[in-house]
Chain A
Amino acid sequence: MKRLLTLAASALALTAAAPALAQDMVVTNAKLVIGDGSEPIEGGVVIVDDGKVVFAGKPTAGQTFTTGTVVDAGGAYVTPGIFATLTTLGLADVSAVDETNDITASKTPFSAALDASTAINPTSQHILVHKAAGITRAATTMLPSGSIFAGQGAIIDLDGSPNPVMQARAFQMINLGENGSAQAGGSRAAAHALLRAALREAQALSTGKGGIPQTTAIDKADEVLLSRFDAEALVPVVTGKQKLYVDVERMADIRAVLALKSEFPKLDLVLVGATEGWLVANEIAAAGVPVIANGLIDLPETFEQLGATQSNVGRLSKAGVKVAINALTMQDPRRLQQVAGNLVALTKMPGATGLSWGQAFAAISSVPADIVGMGGKAGVLKPGALGDVVIWTEDPLEVGAVPAKVFIGGVEQDLTNHQTRLRDRYKDLDESNRPEAYDW
C-alpha cells in the first residue's frame, strides 16, 4: 500500500496511494544520525527514493512524499549503514580452514595483480552475520602473504545478492612494516627497494607504447617477486588513479611512506594501522594523507608498536587527520561500534584523547567511505547517498546494540543467518518428542 506522507514536524498525514517501488521508504520519528560527525537530531525523518536518500533531517511543514513503506522508528537511533574498512568479508568461510580461505595466496607467482573482487562469496556467513550487525558496505581486501603487495581490494555491499561488488580494484594494499620486511627478503630496505622498483616499472609501462614491459619479472631464486602482470596492475597506482593503502605501524615507517610522494608525486596514499601515527600526527595532517587507524591497540605487541595507545585515533583527529577506525585488527568487523564507543569513553580519562559521539560514529561510517572515494555516497544520510539505513534498538555505539531493521539501497534486509537459526533451534533443549534436528 502506497501512502502519501505530509512531513510536518507536528503531524504526519498519511494517504493511500498506488503500489510502491521496492526502493522507496520513509523513516519517521528518528533519533537521526547523519554520520558526518554531527550529533543526533531528535524527531528526524529519512526519505529514500529509488534506492537513494532524498532527504534526511528535521521535516519542514508542507513536505510530502509518496511511498509504500513507512517505518515509525519510535524515537530510536536511525543511522547510515556502517561502512567497514578494512575487512576480509566474503573472502573466507573459516579462516583456519585453508580450502575456504582466499585471504592470502602465498603460493601464487602473482601479487599486485590479484583482484579480490574475483573471489567474493556474497552468501558467506560472515557477510550475513555482519549485515545483521548493521554493516551495509565494506572495503574488503586480501592480505600480503608471498609479497609486500596484497593485491587490489574491492568495495562490496552486504545484501547477499549475487553481485556484491560495487567497485572492483578500488585500492592496492601493501605492507611496509615488519611483515613487509619479512615478505621482501628480511629488511625494510628490501621492501622499499621492491616497492620502488615495482613503481618505476609501472611508471615506465604507463608512458611506454602498447604496454611493453621493461623487464619480464623480478625474481629471487625460484620466487617471483613481481611479474609483468603485477607491474601492469601498478600502473593505476603510480598514475594516481587507484589508491595505495600502506600498512605500517612505526613512526619512522610512516614518515618513509609520506616521503614516497617526492619520488612518485601522483600516489594517492592512505595509511593503514599507523599505531604510532600520533607521534607524527602533524606531518600526516600536513601531507593530507588519511589514516585507517587501529582503534584500541595499546600494547607493544611488536617492536614497531612501542608507542601504542588508545589515544592514537583521538590525537590524529585532533591534529586534523582524516581518520577511520580499522576493522582488520579486531576480532571481527562487527566490533567497530564497540571500538568507536570506547573512544568516546576515553574522553573521560585524564590525559587521554578520544572522540565525540558524532566523530566516533563518523569514523565507522562517512569517513571510511570518504577515504575510499565514496564521500557523500556511503556511510552518510544526505541527499544523493545510497539508501542504507539502520534502525537500532538502542545507542548503536553501546555494547550489544544490534539493528532492529537494516535497509540496503532502500530495501529491507532479511537478517536471518546460520547463527540466528542455531539460536532458534537451541532456545530450548527439549528433545522429548524428536531430536533437535527436526526443529527448523
Chain B
Amino acid sequence: MFADKRARGRFAVAATLASALALSACTTTGDSEKPASASSKSDKEFAATPAGEPVFASTYKPFPNVATAIKGATIYDGRGGKIENGVVFMSGGKIVSVGGPDTPIPADIAVFDGTGKFVTPGIIDIHSHLGDYPSPGVEAHSDGNEATSPTTPEVWAEHSVWPQDPGFSRALANGGITALQILPGSANLMGGRSVTLKNVPSRTVQGMKFPGAPYSMKMACGENPKRVYGNRGRMPSTRMGNFAVNRETWLEAIDYANNPDAKRDLAKETLVGVLKGEILIQNHCYRADEMALVLDMAKEMGYKVSAFHHAVEAYKIGDLLRENDVCSAIWADWYGFKMESYDGILENAAFLQKEGACVVIHSDDQNDIQRLNQEAAKAQAAGARVGIDIPDATVIGWLTYNPAKAMGIADKTGSLETGKMADVVLWNGDPLSVYSRPEKVWIDGALMFDAMNPKTRPVSDFELGQPGEGDVK
C-alpha cells in the first residue's frame, strides 16, 4: 500500500491492512531497540560477526555460459553510443569486445544473427518491491514496510525478499531486467536498507544478491510518513515533523559515530554507513521544494543523496539537481493520484536531460517493470514534441548506465564495455517501440531467457501445478 500504487477498488483491503499494522505496532514496539546479539564486548565466548564484515553474503555465481557473439544488430552501449551492424562478443561471463562489423570474433563460438534486431545492456530497475510485496499480494506476503516506527534504518529489505515471487520472471522475460534494487516502502522516513539483486531464479535471496553492490538506505519525504504516523497521533504528522525527526536521528547517528564505546546498534550502523559514503541514499520525494530542503539537510548532516525517487516535480529544479549531482528516478506518465503527484508532466525526463541532470526511469510496480523501455520511449516522445530531441542511445542510458550509477554498480554493469559483466538483451526490434520484445537475455554471459525456447522461461515454485504453468505470460 505504500508502493505508491493506486489502490483502485481495494480501499476496503487497504483499510484492513492499516488497522492490522496499527495493531502490530502495539505488540512489537519495544522489541525493535534490542541489539542483534546477546554478546557484550568483554565476552570472548559469544561474539557476533563484527560490524562491517560481510553477513548474509552473496552466494551468486554466474551460471555456466559459452562464448557468444551477436552480429549484425544495432547496438546501444548504455553510455550514449550507437553502432549500426555491430558485434557484441562475450566470453567467461564478461563483455570481451563491442564494435563494428569487422570486430574479430573467434571461430567455434555461438553466433546469433542480430540482423534487424537491437542489443542493449541488461535493463536495470532502481526501484522495485518484487519479493517484498510479491504476487500473490496477500496480507501474509506484505513485507515491504516495517511501519511500526518512523525511522527503521535497522531493517534490511533482503530479509523480506521471497525469491519465489513470479514477478522476477516476468521482469526478465518481458522487460529484459537483469538487475534490480529492492527497496523498503515509503511509510517510514528512513525505511531501511535496500538490496541489489541479479535477476536470476534462486532458492535463496543470497543466491540473487549482486556481488559487490553497495547497500542503499531508503528515505521518504512528504505525505506517506506524516499520514501513517500522524494518523496514530504520533510524530511526524506534518512535513516539518518529518524534517525534525530526520534531523534528530542524524544527530544521534553522528554522536554514535564519534563514540568508540557505543554499544552496537543496527539502525545507527546503517546511518553511519551513509555518513561514511559506503551506503547510498535513495530518497522517495515528489515535490521540488521538498527535494531542495532534503539537499540542504544532507549538507547539514554530511551525506549525499544518490537519487530522488518518484521525483515528479524534478523538472522544476533540474538546475539544482545537476549542480548537486543527484539522479531523478521517475515514471514517464504517473500523475495526479495523490496530492504530491498533482504536477506530474510527461516532459519531466526531457526537461531534466536538457538541463544536464541525470535521468533514471523506474517502475515501483510489478507491471511497469516489464516495460521500462516503453516508459522511456514515452518520455522521449514528450520531449521531441517540444523540440527536445534526445537520441535513442541516450534514452537507453536512462534504463542502464544511469540506474547502475545511482546504485553504485556502474563499474560492473549498465553498459556494454570490455571487462564488464555480460548482462545483455537482444530485442526483436527497436527497444523504444511498443512492437518490440526481448528475444534473449544474458546475465553474466549465461543465456537466462530465450523467447524462442519455452523451457527457458523460469517457473517459480508458486506457479507449479497452477493454471497456466509455463504459459507465455
Contact = CB atoms under 8 A, between A and B. Distances in A.
Interface stretch (B29-37, B229-237, B269-277, B378-386): B378-386
A27 interface: no
B468 A306 contact: yes
B118 interface: no
B6 A95 contact: yes
Interface residues of A, number: 70
A219 interface: no
A309 B12 contact: no
B451 A401 contact: no
B473 A423 contact: no
Contacts of A175: 9
A299 B9 contact: no
A298 interface: yes
Of A298, A303, A308, most B-chain CB atoms within 10 Å: A298
Interface stretch (A31-39, A207-215, A234-242, A327-335): A327-335
Contacts of A398: 433-435
A345 to B, nearest CB: 5
A153 interface: no
Given A302-B137, A306-B468, A351-B471, A423 B386 contact: yes
B418 interface: no
**Interface on chain B toward A: helix, strand, loop, or mixed SS?**
loop
Q: How large is the interface on B (under 10, 10 to 19, 20 to 34, 35 or more residues)?
A: 35 or more
Interface string B70-114: 000000000000000000000000000000000000000000000
Given A309-B472, A398-B434, 19 more contacts: A93-B336, A97-B338, A104-B9, A106-B12, A129-B335, A144-B9, A296-B367, A298-B174, A301-B136, A301-B137, A302-B137, A308-B473, A311-B472, A399-B434, A419-B345, A423-B346, A423-B386, A426-B351, A429-B318
Interface stretch (B249-257, B409-417, B459-467): B459-467
Nearest to A98: B11
A96 B170 contact: no
B467 A338 contact: no
A439 to B, nearest CB: 12
Contacts of B428: 348
Interface in B336-359: 336-339, 342-347, 351, 355
Nearest to B343: A422
Contacts of B471: 307, 309, 311, 351
Contact of A400 (B316, B381, B462, B466): B381
A31 to B, nearest CB: 17
A4 interface: no
Interface string A64-84: 000000000000000000000
Of B334, B366, B378, B463, most A-chain CB atoms within 10 Å: B378
22 contacts: A96-B6, A96-B337, A97-B339, A103-B8, A106-B11, A143-B9, A299-B166, A300-B166, A307-B468, A307-B471, A331-B6, A332-B335, A345-B434, A346-B437, A350-B451, A397-B434, A399-B378, A419-B344, A423-B347, A427-B351, A429-B318, A436-B316
